[in-house]
Amino acid sequence: MTEVVDRPTGNAAVPTEGRAANSPAAAVSAADEQPAVDVAALGEQLLGKWAHIRRQARALAARPELHKTEGLTHTEHRKRTFGQLQYLVDNEAVHRAFPTALGGSDDHGGNVAGFEELVTADPSLQIKAGVQWGLFGSAVMHLGTEAHHSKWLPGIMSLAIPGCFAMTETGHGSDVASIATTATYDPAKQEFVVHTPFRAAWKDYIGNAAIDGLGAVVFAQLVTNGVSHGVHAFYMDLRDPLTKEFLPGIGGEDDGVKGGLNGIDNGRLHFNNVRIPRANLLNRYGNVAPDGTYSSPIASPGRRFFTMLGTLVQGRVSLDGAAVAASKMALKTAIQYATERRQFNASSSTDEEVLLDYQRHQRRLFTRLATTYAASFAHEQLLQKFDDVFSGTHDTDEDRQDLETLAAALKPLSTWHALDTLQECREACGGAGFLIENRFASLRADLDVYVTFEGDNTILLQLVAKRLLADYAKEFRNVDFGVLARYVVGQATDVAIHRTGLRQVAQFVADTGSVQKAALALRDEEGQRTLLTDRVQSMVAEVGAALKGANKLPQHQGAAIFNQHQNELIDAAQAHAELLQWEAFTDALRKISDPGTKTVMTWLRDLFGLSLVEKNLSWYLMNGRLSMQRGRTVGDYINRLLVKIRPHAVDLVDAFGYGPDHLRAAIASGAEKIRQDEAREFFRMQRASGDAPVDEKAILARKKIEAGLPRH
């Protein structure tokens, strides 16, 4: 087995005097030329721009009052979570995004950073708080105007009005534009009549709907003067605050037990010609005058719809961050355990190996560690972009589109990654991983729905793909599309430069020369960048060429062609999102000043980049971007990186900064080390005493030797 220590000597966490040149530790370090990670500095970098708020939120999330109690019924869990929301209000944890005038602090990025950390206490708490203040409250704030703010926000902020964000219907989740609930204006009474026309139009999966919701923002097709103006948001009282009974015309159902997040009372709602005042239309983007005349600052109904939905992007942003946080916790626990747990004694007759010295175990955990770092740095960029837009610092139409594309690209990858990581870590800890006391299974169950709510991951990647295609088309508006695409795909040298989504891809080719040349250096930053960027670009070009002219065909045929390339489109979007993660990781490397940290983090970034190349190796081979011979080196190089990273694994998960009150996993506590040490000491003492029973195998071997037989 590879000989390693669990932490390199010369760790920056050790006081400087401990690393004096003449100390034994320094001598070992010098002999090994082993770099060391500055855990504190790396931790600070990971905390990012809103470090102070993350620290506050983590301190809060460490309190037992907010922790998930395992084994509760969903009824008990719901009660506990609702109580915790009040605790958050009392501790001023959830009002940062609201207007300063109402007691908030107009801090959008900081608000999301704080919310994300709640996942460490209980994902149900994160999401229930997200429903109340991130969706219900945000809809009133972003879609309503001054009068709505002063009327409802104080009660929403204080939790006097627990409320629902009633958008999704049983029949329409991904295709929100097609929801069927109607709000028809009645000029005679100056009221909207909200109505559910059939069963598929019931609001469904709505948090706070089953029990707690007194109010709701209801999304419905606004109809006035015989014209449907598309989806708008309406404020509605749902229940009598005293009796908690539904108001007349309103009914509902409980969604019951779910695969996770059972602290939230999801439910269904339906409306039978429920009348609400005209003023309850949240009218920032569309208004109805007393006589029924509709007006909007945005002429295009399509753009208006996407602008309204765009104000709610923070849900995706915060899921991205929470998914990263959960991955970090899982890896800290599994890697800690893997340095203590021993099994099988292949390389010694007395000592068993620690799990983390097994190559496969390293592959399972370190590739996911690398991806978690990439996702973490990418999330920080997303959060800053989000803050730039919502603070108004950079809030053009293009900024908003870029933000939405970035969120749509990163949220799928990070949420799928969290499920994959929680599962791999649980399996890597065997039976112990399955016990709820070690939290993997609990977190995985709760985070499961993150991959389909706030935008189904597969749908989001298609939004990204459409943006990539649109940019591609824009770039080549005046060029013969088919010929160019063949050129781009068929020839890897001198690839034409164009934009795909947020990135000016391929411009590096101009700087660095041909793709082939760059690809020769798999280990180089520019080599990796070239391979990853070229793939996105070529995939988009290829699909773009195949789809050329599809929009001029009859609708039916155009859709069929599009559908024939749906799988490739989604793959291209995923490749783009992976590139964004890789770029974020690479940008983060530039901000590291400590040389040891930079060296180790560069190995980790290389592991991430090379893992992406390995995953898609067939593409690189089939498209002539890597030779067969070079392709065969990718796996070996990854294996060598694993060995290099091994001594730093604990430092790298310690830098995540989650303590025992966040992890709360029995096997992250060092308990396994105590058990292993006790067992080894027992056998050591037994051998020393001479009382150990003799192994039958040893006797047989001796007999064979005595009889002159071969031992094997």
Instruction: Report the side by side order of strands in the sheet with 267-271.
Output: 203-206, 267-271, 250-254
Q: Are 540 and 468 in contact (CB under 8 A)?
A: yes
Shortest distance in whole angstroms from residue 544 CB to a second copy:
17
Q: How far is the CB of 391 from a second copy (least distance, A)?
A: 32
Contact 291, 228 (CB under 8 A): no
Q: Report how far residue 637's alpha carbon sits from residue 633's, in angstroms, rounded to the nearest whole number.
A: 6
**How far, in Å, CA of 357 to CA of 445, rounded?**
29
Map residue 528 onto helix, strand or coil: helix
Nearest to 56 by CA among 106, 118, 138: 118
DSSP state letters, 268-279: EEEESSEEEEGG
Task: Report the distance separating Cα 452 and Cα 416, nearest Å.
Answer: 10
Nearest to 341 by CA among 440, 432, 421, 424: 432
Work out how close the CB of 59 gets to a second copy at its nearest, in angstroms, rounded to a whole number. Answer: 27
* Residue 475: active-site member: no
- Contact, 100 vs 106, CB < 8 A? yes
- Token pair, residue 356, equals 């983390």
Among 117, 169, 191, 454, which one carries the catalytic annotation? 454
Minimum Å gap between C-beta 509 and a second copy is 22
Query: Among residues 86 and 563, whose Cβ is nearest to a second copy?
Result: 563
Q: At 240, is the secondary structure helix, strand, or coil?
A: coil
Output 371 or 457, the one with its CB closest to a second copy.
457
- In terms of CB distance, is 280 or 457 closer to a second copy? 457
As a whole number of angstroms, the distance between CA 97 and CA 53 comes to 13
Strand partners, 234: 218, 281
- The least CB distance from residue 448 to a second copy, in Å, is 7
Q: Are 19 and 26 in contact (CB under 8 A)?
A: yes
Closest distance of CB 655 from a second copy, Å: 26
Nearer to a second copy, 91 or 184 (CB): 184
| Of residues 52 and 687, the one with the C-beta less far from a second copy | 687
- Residue 335 contacts by C-beta under 8 Å, 6 or more apart in sequence? 356, 365, 369, 649, 650, 653
486 and 506 in contact (C-beta within 8 Å)? Answer: no
When the beta carbons of 551 and 593 are compared against a second copy, the nearer one is 551
Residue 483 CB, nearest distance to a second copy (Å)? 20
Place of tokens 């005493």: 689
Q: Which is nearer to a second copy, 161 or 329 (CB)?
A: 329
Query: By three-state DSSP, how is residue 164 classified?
Result: strand
Catalytic (active-site) positions: 454
